[in-house]
Amino acid sequence: MNKKISVGLAISIAVACITITFAVTMSIAQHTYNKLVSNLSGRTDTNKIMSELADKVAVEYYGAISPESVNAKTAAGYVEGLGDEFSFYLTAREYSEYKTKMSGKTSGIGIATELDSETGYMHITDVYKGSTADSSGLQKDDYIIAIDDEAVTELTYERLSGVLLGQKLTTVKLTYLHNDVKKTTNVMIGYSSQSISGELIGNVGYIKISAFYKNTATQLKNTINDLSEGGAVSFVLDVRGTTDGTIECACDVLDVIVPVASIENGALATAVFSEAKGGGKEVIATSDTESVTVPMVVLVDGETSGGAELFACDLRDFDLAELVGETTKGNDTYQKVFELDDGSAVVLTVAKIKPYRTETYGETGLVPDHEVLLSKNRSEITSREEDEQLQAAITLLANKANPEK
């Protein structure tokens, strides 16, 4: 039997519901408003200072003002003011080069240059291994004197430097001096970056990983296969000094080696957001069934950072490798790229990284299983025999293969 309620009681219940709903809505609105006001206040102060500064410069500054240059440096200074070494601003041109670089490709011909103040020539200060400049015979300390038959001078240096970063798969004609001998060559613009190199040391496959780009995983897979076919029964993976690349690409490289994850949510990396930004987590990558099962050692040092640290940490978390060398940098930050309206971009730290099993390596770094210090700087080492960390890794692998010895 249905029970009836009075009209007065129904109205009272309705009013109570409306009151509760209104209170909750106002509480949420007040919280949102407080955040907006706080942000607005900070933005207003910043805008006021910048406006006042711009007015003062416009009236008092002696020299000419380049709005484009001022805007770029202002944006870069704003991000630098965050105090985070892993966040940075990129102009439209820099962002284009950044995207090319992260894809594993390189614009340009593979040289670093500076203006020679005496001659006005383009002094080559470095030639990158594997680049088109390298294969064309250009060498460090050569001098480019003309590009496409246009003379390189102090006035044309900047513009002609840009020609070398031009449309990919086109060629430029270079006239240069090598030991004061005039030479000419045609060099193609653009080439694939080699972030993986490998060689056999006895029956140990030594693999240097210099960066984590989109094509690094494929390069690693091919290198492992080649070294295995050549007789490698174990691997030394060297990420000393490696800082470049992304967390996502580091996970792609890890997926070549590690099996399917078996703990928690099976994530190779998880982004952990700050409570101030709402908290929460986001799985960045998981692994598949493909794996490498031979003994491995990872070489690390104080410059091993970011994706390279995640790589070393996860291999140890999967019990696939021990770490040899020195404590790593301690960079567990995660960056995302945000493109701006004018084609420029900002790379911002948005979260911390949680590895496969380890809680964190942030700030403290990864402490190696076997600490080995070098008796000289790595840049001064001229042979594999002088590299105590590499030799310690090879010895460790040999002992694992012959434990009775």
Range name among 90-94, 126-130, 234-238 with the lowest pLDDT average: 126-130
Percent share of the chain, pLDDT over 90:
66
Mean pLDDT of 234-250: 98
Q: Tell me: do 267 and 138 sit in the same domain.
A: no
What's the DSSP call for residue 294? S
Its sign, for the CA torsion 74, 335, 303, 204, is negative
Reduced to 3 DSSP states, what percent helix, strand and coil does the chain have, rounded to the nearest 5?
Answer: 35, 25, 40
Q: Tell me what pLDDT residue 48 has.
A: 85
Residues 233, 224: Cα–Cα separation, whole Å: 10
* Cα–Cα dist 199/227, whole Å: 7
339-387 pLDDT per residue, tens: 999 999 999 999 999 999 999 999 899 999 999 999 999 889 889 999 9
Q: Are residues 121 and 185 in the same domain?
A: yes
User: What average pLDDT does this structure show over 65-89?
Assistant: 92
| The pair of three-digit structure tokens given for residue 143, joined into one six-digit string | 């001098």
Answer yes or no: do 265 and 373 share one domain. yes
Angle at 243 between CA 165 and CA 253, to 5 degrees: 95
Residue-wise pLDDT for 268-292, tens only, equals 999 999 988 888 999 999 998 889 9
pLDDT at 174 over 90: yes
In a domain, 237, yes or no: yes
| Residue in this structure with the two tokens 């309206």, named with its chain if needed | 341
Question: How big is the CA angle at 343 (ends 342 and 344), to the nearest 5 degrees?
Answer: 95
Q: Which amino acid is at 25?
A: T
**Are 291 and 222 contained in the same domain?**
yes
Report which secondary-structure segment, H or E, holds 267. strand 267-272
Residue 83 within a domain: no
Cα angle at 88 between 87 and 94, to 5 degrees?
Answer: 145
Which domain CATH number covers 156?
2.30.42.10
Return the exposure string of 109-122: e unless at least 16 CB atoms fall within 10 Å of the residue's CB, then b.
bbbebebeeeebbb
Q: Which residues of 210-245 are buried (b: 16+ CB within 10 A; e: fewer)?
A: bbbbbbbbebbbebbeebeeeebebbbbbbbbbbbb
Q: Which domain holds residue 368?
A: 196-401
Is the same domain home to 244 and 310? yes
- Tell which of 158, 176, 192 closes a domain: 192
Q: Is the pLDDT of residue 405 over 70?
A: no
Query: Residue 204 falls within a domain, yes or no?
Result: yes
pLDDT digits (tens, 9 = 90+) for 10-33: 555 555 555 444 444 444 445 444
Give the Cα separation of 250 and 269 in Å (integer).
10
- Domain ends where: 192, 213, 232? 192
Q: Which residues contact 369 (CB under 8 A, 6 or more apart)?
A: 316, 322, 323, 324
C-alpha to C-alpha distance for 334 and 270, rounded to whole angstroms = 10
Q: What is the mean pLDDT of residues 303-313?
A: 98
Residues 332 and 204 in one domain: yes
**Both tokens of residue 113?**
């240059």
Examine the domain organization and report whether 177 and 219 are in the same domain: no
Domain boundary among 166, 192, 218: 192
What pLDDT was estimated at residue 269?
Answer: 96
pLDDT in tens, 208-231: 999 999 999 999 999 999 999 999
Is there a contact between 344 and 396 (Cβ–Cβ < 8 Å)? no
Domains: count for the chain:
2
* CATH code at position 216: 3.90.226.10
Task: Answer yes or no: is 310 within a domain.
Answer: yes
pLDDT at residue number 7: 52
Q: Is 264 exposed, middle or buried (0-12, 13-18, 19+ CB in 10 A)?
A: exposed
Per-residue pLDDT band at 40 (split at 50, 70, 90): low
Tell me, yes or no, whether 76 lies in a domain. no
In a domain, 13, yes or no: no
Q: How far, in Å, CA of 236 to CA of 325, rounded?
A: 12
- Determine contact, residues 138/127, Cβ cutoff 8 Å: yes
Q: Which helix (H) or strand (E) holds 282?
A: strand 281-286
- Mean pLDDT, rounded, of the chain: 88
Tell me if 48 sits within 8 A of 56, measured CB to CB. Answer: no
Continuous H helices in 165-287? 216-229, 247-257
What's the rounded Cα separation, in Å, for the pair 358 and 267? 12
Q: Is residue 378 part of a domain?
A: yes
Residues 301 and 353 in one domain: yes
Whether the CB-CB separation of 59 and 70 falls below 8 Å is answered with no
Domain co-membership, 355 together with 226 = yes
Average pLDDT over residues 63-70: 87
Query: Are 136 and 165 within one domain?
Result: yes
